[in-house]
Structure formats: structure tokens, C-alpha cells
Structure 1
């Protein structure tokens, strides 16, 4: 399979190899499938650390950390564009999946691979990718069009009974979008809290070390630079009332 392989062919290969049911290349952005393709080659990835049904970006990043460790251990000279891949954009993941397929073709020994056994039966629900709201809106617009319609033209456009089902369908689509966006927002909030806790731990550690040095009349330029970064704000940023810069400023 060449670099010009279609998305359909790539997904068919991936689903067969890993015994999963991905329907879009974008779902590879979670990183789980990429990790298991490498496991099919080497057979020694820590699959217990790979979350195949990851739903949130911080979980995606954890999968890519596993992958980066493998690349380093196996001396694979290929940059992993993590920041792009985790956004679950089709083009970025298509290009990387094409590279993964080429790498697999060149390195897989044909030894057979039991994907389900390697992940110990862990669920592999396809990762969700948030669809643009315009998709639902355009779909709703077509459902609400005045031409044709489900009644086959037997009821006038002004008839309420025939048209009532169409707005209900549009509402259901929008409700589905809202639910998916709410789940995505929850993930972003968890990701924010995840990184905030790390920054908070660093802040406490640096502060304690600075106080210890000051007690001994010493200084550490590196620690001061770290503090400077922790407490810096972007131009135009205003700290909300009652909040400290590090507590309230988001980092993404």
C-alpha cells in the first residue's frame, strides 16, 4: 500500500489488524491504534498503559507518551506531531496513518497477531471526535426544506401535521450535538485541572526551595526563572477578582 492509499483501504487494514471498528481516520488521533500497530510489530508495548477508548485530549497525550518511549527505545527516527494529531483532524492523521502503514509493511514479520488478547479484552469503543455544528445545521436545513418532503407532496407545505416530524428530527440532531459538545467540554475541564495540578505542585516545590535558599542567604537563577514563567501573564490579561494569576489563568 502506497502513500496514496485511500482512507477506506487504510481503515479496512487497521480494523482487520486490530479487531476494532473505526469509521473515520480522525479517530486515530487518540493514539491508541497507532500504539497497537507498533505492538503488532514488536509485541512488547505496555498495552496496559494504552487507553484504546480514550475520550479526552489528556488521555490522548498519555497514549502518545507511550508511543514516544517506543520510538526512542527502538531508535525510530520519525517525529510524532502530537499537537496536531490530538486535534483529530483528518489530514494530519491520514498522513501519519499512511506512514504507520508503510512502516508496518517494512517491519511486520508476518508472525500473526492477537490484538484482542494483547489488550486483555479492554473495550475499544471508537474515540469520539466532535463534529462541527455546521454539519447538524446544514442537515437540519435540508430536513426543513419545502421541496419534496416525507409526505411526498401529498400535504401542502403549510400543513402542520406533515411538517411537525421534521422540526423534531432537527431538534434531536441539535440535542445530540449539544450532548457531544458537553462531553467534550467536560474533557477540556478535566484536562485543564490535570495540568493545573501539575503546575501547582511545581510552584509549591519551587517556593519551598527558594525559601530554603533565602534562609541560607543563597540564590538560584534557574528557580527564579521558573517562578517568572509561572507568574507571567499575557498582554491584556486581567486577573479576576479574588483570584491569583496561577490559579485562574488557563494554559491552553
Structure 2
């Protein structure tokens, strides 16, 4: 536990912690390969599957009794901001991870909880209204640009020579319509959906 780094957020630190975990698995002959590469990418599906396996392993092999996780972390030099340990319940049994009681849970403000909540809800409503206005304006200008593009396409279909000439009004308008800003790249077809499929947290 002294080699585990708590509250890390860099891939290098993740790799160090998973190396410690792999060594512990090897020392205790746990025959479970750890998918380090996929776990360090923080995709929800991979992490959830590994956590489910860990929970099942815990339920099958934990001998019962008290386990002071906070005390173990403090002994390893973890930050002191960890929550205080609670007294073990008398009803704890083998294979069941104890949960925190309502007294030990932090209090969370409810949706209707006073002036700060109302102010935040008002700010959210204002932001949603502003976003709706911006989207409407964006759609309005996009429709105008699309109309211009369709007019150009019909003019070129009627007279294909317009596109072949270099210094014409049609070429200048097309140059404006299809120009991009520095650093902007048009995604290839199929790449747009692939990026959305990788869920992270």
C-alpha cells in the first residue's frame, strides 16, 4: 500500500499504480490479466468491467472481519483529506461490502434548497435561452449560405464554362463559401461517429 499513489490524474501515475497491482496479483497467484492500456484510457466500459470482476473476486475471497481502508491509506502516506473511518456494523457478514450509513454521508443540497440553488437555476435558464437564440441565429445564416450555394450550383449546371474560368464572380463566391480558418480540419467521413463511440469519464 505504501507504493500506491492516491489521487493521481496522469497516465504515468496510473501506469505505476497498475504495475504495483500486477505485482500483487503475481505474488498472490491471481490469474487475472490486467488490461492496463485500456484502463489508462479511462473508457467507462473497460473500467466498469474490471471493477465488476474486482467486486466479484472480493465477494468470493474476503475472509470477513473488519477492514480499515482509511487506516491502511494513512499508513501508506496517503493525503490526510481522506474521510474518517466509521465503526464497523454488527450486521456485517462475509462477502458483503459494508456501505456508509446515512449519518456518515455528506449532506447534499436538494433541488429546492434555498437562494443559492434558485440563483443557479435562474442562471441555467438564462444560459439555455441564450444558447437557443444563438442556435436560431446560426441556422438562419446557414440557410442563407446554403441558398447561395444552391444558386451557384444551378448556375454552373446551366453554364459549365463558369467553373472553368479562373477570375469570375462564381469562383470568388465559392472561395468565400468553402474557405476555412487556420487549424480547422474537415473530418473524414466515418471519423465523426468513431470519436463519439469512445465514452470516457
Quickly name the TM-score band, shorter chain normalised: 0.3 to 0.5
When Rg is computed on C-alpha atoms for both structures, the one with the higher figure is 2
Q: TM-score if structure 1 supplies the norm length?
A: 0.32
Per residue, is there more helix in 1 or in 2?
1
More contact order relative to length (CA 8 Å, sep ≥ 6):
2
Q: TM-score if structure 2 supplies the norm length?
A: 0.40
